[in-house]
Amino acid sequence: MQKWLAMTAVELGKGIDNREIDPVTLCETFLDAIDAHPHRDRIYARVTPGRAIAEATAAAARADKGHRLSPLDGVPISWKDLFDTAGIGTEAGSKLLEGNVPDRDATVLANATAMGLVCLGKTHMSELAFSGLGHNPSTASPPCVNDEEAVSGGSSSGAAASVAFGLAAAAIGSDTGGSVRTPAAWNDLVGLKTTSGRLPMEGVVPLAPKFDTIGPLCRSVADAAELLAAMEGRAPADIAAAFVDGRRFAVLETSAFDDIDEAPRSAFDTAVSIMEEAGAQIERIAFPALEDVMPLSGCLYTSEAYGIWRDEIEANPDAMFSEILERFRLGQKFSAPDYVAAWAKVDAVRGEYLRATARFDGVLVPTVPILPPKLDELKADHDFYVAQNLASLRNTRIGNLMGLAAITLPTGTPSCGITIMCSPFHEEQALRHAAGIEEALAEGRS
C-alpha cells in the first residue's frame, strides 16, 4: 500500500475502478503517512480525518455498485488554506484570519467533492498568498522535497510539499503571480495556472481578484486535466492523442532569461533540445513590449492587494510577517490614475502579445530562473529575501500579466521546470501540448 503514495491521481482512480484499491484503505494510508511524517505540521495546517474517511466510505460504496462519479472518485487530495471548508478553519496563513471558520465549502471544493474527491485537509501557504517563496513565520514554512533546508516555493507551499512528500495524491492551490507554478517547479511537479475567470472564486480568500486563479499541483498532466474537470464538475478533456512532432513552439527570450541561474537555464535548453529531436519546431522570439509592462506589476499587484486588505491590515499590522506587511503597504504609494493607466497599458500589450504569438502552438519559458533558496538565508537577510521573492515570480508573472493559460512540467533536473503558455481560456490546448512535451521528455531521458 505504500506504493500508492507515489502513484498519480489518475492511476489511483483506475485502481479504484478496477477494484484493486479500496478508497477507505487508500484514505487511511494517506492519513497514516501524514501523521507519521516528520514535517507534518510544516505542511498541513489542518488535517480532516473525519471528513476524509466519510467521503472515502461513500466513494467505496459507489465503487461497489459501479456508480463512480468521476475517474477520480475516491482519490484523496489536499487544499490550500485559502479555500473555504465548511466547519473547518480557513486562515490563509495569516493571524489576521485566525479563528475564521466558514459555514460552506468554496465552489470549486464543493464541485470536486460532488465528483467524489476526498479532502485530506488544508495546507500551509505564504501569508495571504503574497509571496513566491513559501516562508511564513506566522504559521509554518514547508520544506522543498529536493532540499529540506530550502523553501518549497509559494504561495502554494504546503500544497506542493503535500504531493512531493507523498502526503496527498494531488493538491489544489491558487496562482496570482506564480503561486502554483513556482512551488510545482521547485518540487518537480506539474502545475496548471488557469485563466483568470475560468474557475469560480466564490469562497476563496482573495489577494488581487483581477489576477487570482485556481489550479492543481500534481504528478502528471493527465492528473491536471482530471482535476480541472472535477473543479468544474464536468468530464475531462481528451489529451490522449498528444504529441510534439510538427508542433510549433516559441521560446520567449524577452525578460525570461535575465539573470537566470545555470541549472534552470541548462535544464530548459536540454528539454527544448529533446523536444526538437522529437520533431517540434522551435523558434526563439523577442517581444520588447513585455519590458514595458513587467515594471507595472508593482503598481497593479500591490494596489489591488492593499485595497482589498487595507482595513484588516491596518487594524492589526503587528499580527503580520513584516516582509509581507511591507509588500502590501507598497500599494499606498500608487494613485488611482497610476492604476488605471497601468491596466490600460497591460490590456494593450496583451493584444499585441496574442497577435505576435498566434502562429505558435505555445510559448516556452523556464518556469523559475532561480533554485529554491535556503530558509535560514531568507530569515537572516531582508535584501536577499526581497530579491529572491521577486526572482521566484519573475517568469511566472509573464503568464499572469498577459492573461494566459500556462502549465509547468518537471524537466528531470531537480527543482527546474519548463512552462508552456497558451492563449486565454485555452487550457485544453495547453494540457494537450503539455502531455506531448511530458511524453517527449520521458522518452528523451530514458
Residues assigned a catalytic role:
80, 155, 179
Q: Fill in the amino acid letter for 332.
A: Q
Q: Which residues contact 203 (CB under 8 A, 6 or more apart)?
A: 83, 84, 102, 104, 105, 106, 107, 108, 109, 110
Residue whose C-alpha is closest to residue 414's, from 164, 236, 199, 45: 164
Q: Could you please report the per-residue DSSP string of 302-339?
A: HHHHHHHHHHHHHHSGGGS-HHHHHHHHGGGG--HHHH
Cell numbers describing residue 419: 512552462
CA distance 367 to 325: 26
Q: Fill in the amino acid letter for 179.
A: S
Cell numbers describing residue 320: 503580520
CA distance 196 to 207: 13
Q: Provide the Cα torsion 331, 332, 337, 343; round to 10°.
A: 0
* CB 285 within 8 Å of CB 251: yes
- Give 388's Cβ-side CA count (13 Å radius): 23
Residue whose C-alpha is closest to residue 212's, from 82, 122, 340: 82
Strands 417-422 and 171-175: unpaired
SS3 3: helix
Q: Fill in the amino acid letter for 423.
A: S
Cell numbers describing residue 322: 513584516
SS3 159: helix
Secondary element (H or E) of residue 428? helix 427-445
* CB 192 within 8 Å of CB 229: no
Q: Fill in the amino acid letter for 441.
A: L
Strands 213-218 and 171-175: antiparallel
